[in-house]
């Protein structure tokens, strides 16, 4: 017989008072019986009808959507996007909140994660608690910035391009994604039928006029003839091993930041917001203040963005080592920085390559790890190098807070922290923390 604790609750509705925001694009609420709900499409202080979307009787918490708003927050607006809302596209978490409220909510999440996982108050982290918009992105309520220069479209069984619904493989077909950058929208991907494809990634470089689409065919499907509204390079994902092959055009796009051009091949990381790379380079350089002749490490270096910026500032007497796990990205980094002989790029996982280098000290370190963070052992190794300053770039507040806690255990304190709204309309936020030896801050 089925266990009563396994009885699904999906579809049940509860009238709840919405509590604080939580990491992940939702708010916390409780039913009259005390069950914890993670509610999307709600705002703190509202009274809503929440419909359960995931969970069962024995679940520690339940996921839900606010399907009716009984008492609205003053921060609520009508979602500008017709595809936003319960059960629809899962790409934007905060279409229903004013832009200023979105940034405030993100700041509350960062502060909560810092306190819970690192034991730090904003003051102790040298942070004023604000999340800064990218320059020019202070839009009035009801308007949406078109910022996303890389859009991963899914394709349904009928060949229609769309976006995934929240925590689902189901496709929400769209005629236009409002947060897609103009260079993506002008390709006209949504207007074309993609029968036989499972995904299309559209990329519009901001440092050049380069445009690219990467097609992932369904098993056994033939690649279509691609005719879009603008000149575009075409690549395909190989069915067997997931490798990417050029069909026609360049196998890379060209981006610019810090007065340098960077080649970014497929699979290579580049910030999605058009102003993000420059914003982050400036924040990292202002925090590190590189000096002539210094040595530096750029860990998880991607195509060499921070390594290039540091190398230009430490001069010919300095040295920079970049470590990147992606083979193609490491090749791009070597190409991008070939005019700077003081830079060396090693390919492999940071936790494996860094100990093998034999490096025992460095003046500066930059870490820009993937969403999961750097981890305890890498933080311990970096801390042992005695750097006068460390810059930690993070796209996930919880990973950031955990690693900052590890740094504190290893003798480093946070000197300053800055947060940037480089993913408007979503719950994501980018942070730059600058660390220094703890005894220096006493």
Q: Please list the active-site residues.
A: 395
Residue of 371, 410, 377 lying closest to 393 (CA atoms): 371
DSSP letter at 114 equals I
Q: Residue 12 annotated as binding?
A: no
Write out the H or E segment, with its range, that includes residue 284: helix 276-288
Q: Residue 271 annotated as binding?
A: yes
Q: Residue 13 annotated as binding?
A: no
Handedness of CA 353, 355, 357, 362 (dihedral sign): positive
Q: At what angle do helices 397-409 and 99-113 cross, to 10 degrees?
A: 30
- Tokens for 155? 């394709």
How many whole angstroms separate alpha carbon 332 and alpha carbon 343? 13
Who contacts 384 (Cβ-Cβ below 8 Å, separation ≥6)?
A: 360, 410
Three-state DSSP at 107 gives helix
- Tokens for 316? 């010919």
Three-state SS annotation for 63-90? EEEEEEEEECCCCECCCCCCCCCCCCEC
How many whole angstroms separate alpha carbon 83 and alpha carbon 175? 10
Q: Residue 212 annotated as binding?
A: no
Which residues are documented as binding site? 271, 300, 324, 368
Binding residues for S-adenosyl-L-methionine: 271, 300, 324, 368
């Amino acid at each position: 017989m089925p266990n009563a604790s396994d009885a699904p609750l999906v579809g049940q509705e509860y009238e709840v008072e919405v509590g604080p925001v939580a990491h992940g694009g939702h708010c916390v609420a409780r039913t009259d019986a005390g069950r914890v709900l993670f509610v999307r499409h709600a705002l703190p202080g509202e009274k809503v009808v929440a419909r359960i979307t995931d969970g069962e009787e024995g679940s520690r918490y339940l996921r839900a959507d606010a399907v009716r708003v009984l008492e609205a927050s003053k921060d609520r607006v009508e979602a500008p996007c017709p595809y936003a809302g319960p059960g629809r596209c899962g790409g934007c978490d905060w279409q229903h909140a004013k832009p200023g409220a979105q940034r405030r909510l993100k700041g509350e999440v960062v502060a909560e994660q810092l306190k819970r996982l690192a034991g730090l108050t904003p003051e102790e982290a040298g942070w004023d608690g604000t999340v800064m918009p990218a320059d020019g992105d202070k839009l009035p309520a009801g308007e949406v910035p078109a910022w996303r220069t890389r859009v991963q479209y899914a394709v349904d069984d009928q060949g229609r391009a769309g976006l995934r619904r929240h925590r689902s493989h189901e496709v929400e077909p769209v005629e236009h994604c409002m947060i897609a950058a103009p260079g993506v929208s002008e390709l006209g991907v949504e207007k074309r039928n993609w029968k036989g494809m499972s995904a299309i990634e559209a990329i519009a470089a901001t440092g050049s006029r380069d445009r690219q689409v990467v097609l992932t065919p369904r098993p056994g499907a033939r690649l279509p003839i691609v005719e879009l509204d603008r000149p575009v390079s075409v690549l395909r994902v190989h069915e067997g091993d997931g490798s990417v092959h050029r069909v026609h055009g360049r196998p890379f796009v060209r981006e610019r930041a810090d007065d340098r051009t960077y080649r970014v091949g497929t699979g290579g990381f580049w910030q999605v917001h058009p102003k993000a790379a420059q914003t982050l380079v400036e924040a990292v350089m202002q925090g590190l203040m590189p000096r002539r002749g210094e040595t530096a490490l750029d860990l998880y270096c991607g195509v060499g963005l921070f390594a290039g910026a540091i190398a230009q500032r430490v001069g010919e007497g300095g040295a920079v080592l970049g470590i990147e796990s992606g083979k193609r990205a490491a090749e791009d980094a070597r190409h991008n920085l070939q005019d700077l002989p003081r830079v060396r790029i090693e390919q492999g996982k940071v936790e494996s390559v860094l100990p093998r280098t034999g490096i025992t000290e460095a003046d500066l370190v930059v870490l820009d790890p993937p969403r999961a963070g750097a981890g305890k052992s890498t933080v311990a190794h970096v801390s042992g190098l005695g750097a006068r300053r460390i810059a930690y770039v993070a796209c996930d507040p919880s990973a950031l807070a955990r690693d900052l806690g590890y740094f504190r255990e290893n003798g480093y304190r946070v000197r300053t922290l800055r947060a940037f709204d480089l993913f408007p309309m979503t719950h994501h936020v980018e942070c730059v923390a600058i660390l220094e030896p703890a005894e220096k801050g006493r």
